Chains A and B, each alone.
Chain A
Amino acid sequence: MNDQAHLELQKQLERLNQQFAQRLHSDLAELAGLADELRRSCTADSRRQRMLALRERLHRLAGAAGTFGFDPLGERARRLEQRADRWLEAARPTTRTLEALARAIEQLARETPGKALQAAVLEPRENPDEQPPACRIYLLETDPEAGANMALTLRNFGYLVSPLRDFTALQDAVDARLPDALIVSVQQDSELERVAQLQQQLKAPLPLLVIHDHFDFASQLAAVRAGAQGFFARPLDITQLENSLERCLDRQQEPFRVLIVDDDAELAARYSLVLRNSQMQVQILAEPTRLFDTMRSFNPEVLLLDVNMPGCSGPELAQMIRLHDEWLRVTIIYLSAETDIKRQMAALLQAGDDFITKPISDNALIASVYSHAQRARSLSTALARDSLTGLLKHADIKEQLALEVQRATRSGKPASVVMLDLDHFKQVNDRFGHAAGDNVIRALANLLRQRLRRIDSLGRYGGEEFVAVLPECSALQARRIFDEIRGRFAALSFNSGDARTFSVTFSAGISETDGRTAPGILLERADQALYVAKHSGRNQVQVAQQ
Chain B
Amino acid sequence: MAELRRILHIEDDPSIQAVTKLALEAIGGYEVLSCSSGAQALEEVERFAPDFILLDVMMPGMDGPETLARLRERIDLQRIPVTFMTAKVQPGEIEHLRKLGARDVIVKPFDPMRLPEQIRSIWAAGR
Does chain B have a CB within 8 A of A90? no
In A225-265, the 8 Å CB interface with B consists of: 265
Given A269-B104, A273-B105, A277-B91, 10 more contacts at CB 8 Å? A1-B27, A12-B26, A16-B19, A59-B88, A66-B110, A67-B112, A81-B87, A265-B127, A269-B126, A284-B125
Does chain A have a CB within 8 A of B45? no
In A88-125, the 8 Å CB interface with B consists of: none
Q: Mark B35-70, 1 if CB is under 8 A from A, else 0.
A: 000000000000000000000001010000000000
In the complex, which residues of chain B have a beta carbon less than 8 angstroms from the beta carbon of A64? 13, 15-16, 108-109
Shortest 6 CB-CB distances between A and B: which pairs? A66-B109, A63-B87, A63-B108, A269-B125, A67-B109, A20-B15
Does chain B have a CB within 8 A of A314? no
Of the four ranges (under 10, 10 to 19, 20 to 34, 35 or more), the interface on chain B belongs to 35 or more
In the complex, which residues of chain B have a beta carbon less than 8 angstroms from the beta carbon of A127? none
User: Judging by beta carbons under 8 Å apart, are A68 and B19 in contact?
Assistant: yes
A residues whose Cβ falls under 8 Å from a Cβ of B: 1, 5, 8-9, 12-13, 16, 19-20, 23, 56, 59-60, 62-68, 71, 74, 78, 81, 265-266, 268-270, 272-274, 276-277, 283-284, 362-363
In the complex, which residues of chain B have a beta carbon less than 8 angstroms from the beta carbon of A5? 26
User: Judging by beta carbons under 8 Å apart, are B16 and A12 in contact?
Assistant: no
12 A-B residue pairs with CB within 8 Å:
A8-B26, A16-B22, A56-B60, A63-B108, A67-B110, A81-B87, A272-B125, A273-B94, A274-B91, A284-B121, A362-B91, A363-B91
CA distance A274 to B95 in the complex (A): 10
Q: A63 with B60: in contact, given A13-B19, A362-B91, A363-B91 (CB under 8 Å)?
A: no
In the complex, which residues of chain A have a beta carbon less than 8 angstroms from the beta carbon of B13? 60, 63-64
CA distance A283 to B118 in the complex (A): 10
In the complex, which residues of chain A have a beta carbon less than 8 angstroms from the beta carbon of B75? none
CA distance A274 to B92 in the complex (A): 11
User: Judging by beta carbons under 8 Å apart, are A63 and B121 in contact?
Assistant: no
In the complex, which residues of chain B have a beta carbon less than 8 angstroms from the beta carbon of A66? 108-110
User: Separation in Å of the A12 CB from the closest CB of chain B?
Assistant: 6
CA distance A268 to B19 in the complex (A): 29
